[in-house]
Amino acid sequence: MDVDNSRWPLRLAEHAAARRESGLWRARRLHSHDGPLSDFAGNDYLGLARDPRLAEAQAEGARRHGAGAGASHLVSGHLAVHEALERRLAELTGRPAALLFSTGYMANLGTLQALCDGHTQVFQDRLNHASLLDGAALAGARSRRFHHGDLSDLSRLLERAPRDALRLVVSDGVFSMDGDVADIAGLSAVCADHRAWLMIDDAHGLGVLGEHGDGCVGRAHGIDEVPVLVGTLGKALGTAGAFVAGSRELIDHLIQFARPYVYTTAQPPAVAAATLRALDILAAEPERRHRLHDHVARFRVEAARLGLPLAPSTTPIQPLVLGDSARVMRWAAALHEAGLLVGAIREPTVPRGQARLRLTLSAAHSDAELDRLLAALARRQDAENAA
């Protein structure tokens, strides 16, 4: 029988062609962490990902517990090391309880899916991470998006929302492509006025901001202000995974209803062991955070002197918004030639016309590496001005 099964391959070919034509084709490059490139693209803000003490804790954890958890948390994969890590994360963030997830993406999916349904009113900052939008979609809830950081736009949307509906306001803590920090006190005040709960995803703030590295929410803003707090472990803490912190009732609710928690294998226990070590180092070596903030301050002073298009960010995420994607790719290529790896961020990750280099600073960078970055940026700027 002659069955025409060419429709799927055709569909793939059409999408591929459209993506290439738009100049937005995404390709992975092979990276080597011991190669010659200085990495100004990653999220290893404290230099912990390659700290030998974490590697040793992970190796020791694997020898003790094995390479994997072997089951989901609700079957037989929930081990004492997970429980210990949850306790430490709750302490760090000043919350009664915390729940580990395998990734930040899943923590956001699971939390929104478990909290919301088709009747919930969800309000999201326009620049929120994709996983927050996807989580609301998974819940069947419609997300209303407010202008970035605009509390009066948020209030306006809340005023229009049906009176009897539950409301959840959702925001990144530190915006991942812009580096600016949400106004947590302002958001929580608006939420209090409109009987909404506030959920903050502090993926990029945890370990970096706050007096104890407890993030932009942390102990400064308790569960009355921010009932739902998400943090990730694959950025400043250098390992992998994520957690939700909040009341015991919130955590119990997630254990019951968050499908991306229930139906997945528990995080490898060795990763939890390494994360515990990362938390020890976070507490014992505040100089890492100080060094990082010194790098940020120095970068901003010198980049401003060069007239580079800095964004209003005081965090280790320092975007240079260059506008069109071709220009961003040229700058990224020139920096690559100079031995510097930077993020080239285009739509749809950021709005059209706001393509940017996403530079991230780390406590692991030497002063000499920062010098090289600034020198290469200056050369690129001169080359463009001369052309």
Ligand X SMILES: *Cc1c(COP(=O)(O)O)cnc(C)c1O
**Which residues participate in catalysis according to the annotation?**
176, 204, 235
CB of 176 to ligand X, least distance (A): 4
State the binding string over 129-168 for ligand X (x if CB under 6 A, else -): x-x-------------------------------------
| 113 vs 370, beta carbon nearer ligand X | 113
Closest listed residue to residue 161, CA positions, set 188, 147, 148, 142: 142
State the binding string over 236-275 for ligand X (x if CB under 6 A, else -): ------x---------------------------------
CB of 146 to ligand X, least distance (A): 17
Q: Give 3-state DSSP helix, strand, coil % of the chain, rounded to 5.
A: 45, 15, 40
| 203 vs 270, beta carbon nearer ligand X | 203
Residue 129 annotated as binding?
yes
Stretch of 2-10, 34-42, 51-59, 102-110 lying at the interface with ligand X (CB under 6 A) = 102-110
| 41 vs 308, beta carbon nearer ligand X | 41
CA 136 – CA 90 distance, rounded (Å)? 25
Please give the radius of gyration of the chain, using alpha carbons only, rounded to the nearest integer: 22
- Which residue has 């180092």 as its token pair? 281
Instruction: Give yes or no for a contact between 315 and 289, defined as CB atoms under 8 angstroms apart.
Output: no
* Binding test (CB under 6 A) with ligand X, winner from 86, 172, 214, 369: 172
Instruction: Give yes or no for a contact between 275 and 237, defined as CB atoms under 8 angstroms apart.
Output: yes
Residue 105 annotated as binding?
yes
Name 166's Cβ contacts closer than 8 Å, sequence gap at least 6. Answer: 116, 119, 120, 121, 197
- Element (DSSP H or E) covering residue 356: strand 355-360
Closest listed residue to residue 222, CA positions, set 96, 67, 74: 96
| 230 vs 308, beta carbon nearer ligand X | 230
| 203 vs 254, beta carbon nearer ligand X | 203
Size of the site for ligand X (CB under 6 A): 14
Is residue 232 near ligand X by the rule CB under 6 A?
yes
Provide the terminal-to-terminal Cα distance of the chain, rounded to the nearest Å. 62
CA 48 – CA 33 distance, rounded (Å)? 13
* Binding test (CB under 6 A) with ligand X, winner from 45, 105, 123, 243: 105
CA 52 – CA 197 distance, rounded (Å)? 41
| 116 vs 377, beta carbon nearer ligand X | 116
CA 112 – CA 115 distance, rounded (Å)? 5
Residue 28 annotated as binding?
no
CB of 236 to ligand X, least distance (A): 11
* Binding test (CB under 6 A) with ligand X, winner from 204, 277, 289, 300: 204
Stretch of 54-62, 84-92, 137-145, 199-207 lying at the interface with ligand X (CB under 6 A) = 199-207
Is residue 179 near ligand X by the rule CB under 6 A?
no
* Binding test (CB under 6 A) with ligand X, winner from 176, 325, 354, 360: 176
CA 21 – CA 53 distance, rounded (Å)? 46
Residue 173 annotated as binding?
no
CA 365 – CA 291 distance, rounded (Å)? 9
- Tell me the sheet residues that pair with 360: 317
Indicate the residue whose CB is closest to ligand X. Answer: 104
Maximum distance among all Cα pairs of the chain, rounded to whole angstroms: 71
Phi, psi (degrees; rounded to nearest 5) at 99:
-130, 130
* Binding test (CB under 6 A) with ligand X, winner from 61, 77, 104, 205: 104
Residue 104 annotated as binding?
yes
Residue 26 annotated as binding?
yes
Q: Which residues bind ligand X (CB under 6 A)?
A: 103-105, 108, 129, 131, 172, 176, 201, 203-204, 232, 234, 242
Binding site feature residues for substrate: 26, 129, 349
